[in-house]
Amino acid sequence: MRLTTESVHYELSELRDKQLPVLRCIDQVCRQHNLHYYLWAGTLLGAVRHKGFIPWDDDMDIAMPRPDYERLVQHAHEWLPAPFEVIGSHNRPDYPYPFIKVIDGSTTLIERPDFMFPEGVFIDIFPLDGYPASDKEGRKLLSRYHFWRHLLFLRGRDPFKHGHGPRSWWPLLLHKMFSLAWLQNKVQGIMKKYPYEKCARVIEMDYLERGIVPKGWIGNGAPIQFQGETYQTVDNPDACLHSFYGDYMTLPPKEKQVQHVYLYVDFNTPYRQYIAQNNITLSE
């Protein structure tokens, strides 16, 4: 079903007030069950450069070694207290991403108009997978991932984003050729090809080449301050951030200090209630 929801105004501070309890929950669960997790990407950058959120940023990222990530997926329904939950392709047939999210199920958020995918205020959790010693094999792996990940993106997207003309034909063909579940399995198989435990280099696939780092940089985790509280990140945040962003301590130009604006945010309505009220079918 294509919704006609228009963008709504929300305060960035309100969104962050909902995100921080999700982060605290992840931290607590991981500590209780001996899972490694790391503040990652822009969240790590914010922790190092700003001691918290990047002033214009509105999402949060965490990475986990694949074995810990899979344990969280398996046990989240028993480990996470309400209203927090994990969503992913394992429990949402309409899920369009190759990683999981921990969400606040008492809220509703829709990220973008071409993915009419109702969820709660969230934190993305990315698996860290093994990367081969051979650069040639690594390039082949990334090429395959990029191809199938792009098909997954197009298959999850509204095929009529650009109208009902020729630009809708390719997405519509993908809808006929592949289910989301099939594409998810294909992408996951590529991601898991090289076991994390057996590789000296690891990768966060959504970052492609930037996400390739020596496992020693990741380590067992080091404490870091974020918004006045202590969380966990990689053993060598400086090396990782240089790999991700280059000169990461230099602020980007003003025109690039732009907040991502979500399509729809409701801090008071559970996303399941929103789904029911709008008669949304969670189909593949």
Domain ranges of the chain: 12-130+201-277
3-state secondary structure at position 282: coil
Determine contact, residues 154/170, Cβ cutoff 8 Å. yes
Alpha carbons 69 and 33: distance in angstroms, whole number:
12
Residue 2 pLDDT grade (very low, low, confident, very high; cuts 50, 70, 90): very low
The whole-angstrom separation of Cα 129 and Cα 188 is: 10
Per the CB < 8 A criterion, the answer to whether 48 and 248 are in contact is yes
Q: How confident is the model at residue 15 (pLDDT cuts 50, 70, 90)?
A: very high
| Residue 34 three-state SS | coil
Q: Are 65 and 196 in contact (CB under 8 A)?
A: yes
Q: What is the pTM of this model?
A: 0.93
- Token couple for 244: 């991700």
Mean pLDDT, residues 50-54 taken together: 97
CATH class of segment(s) 12-130+201-277: alpha beta
Nearest-CA neighbor of 46 among 242, 228, 235, 226?
226
pLDDT at 69 over 70: yes
4 confidence band (pLDDT: 50, 70, 90):
very low
Q: What is the pLDDT of residues 161-214, one digit of tens each?
A: 666 777 777 778 888 899 999 999 999 999 999 999 999 999 999 999 999 999
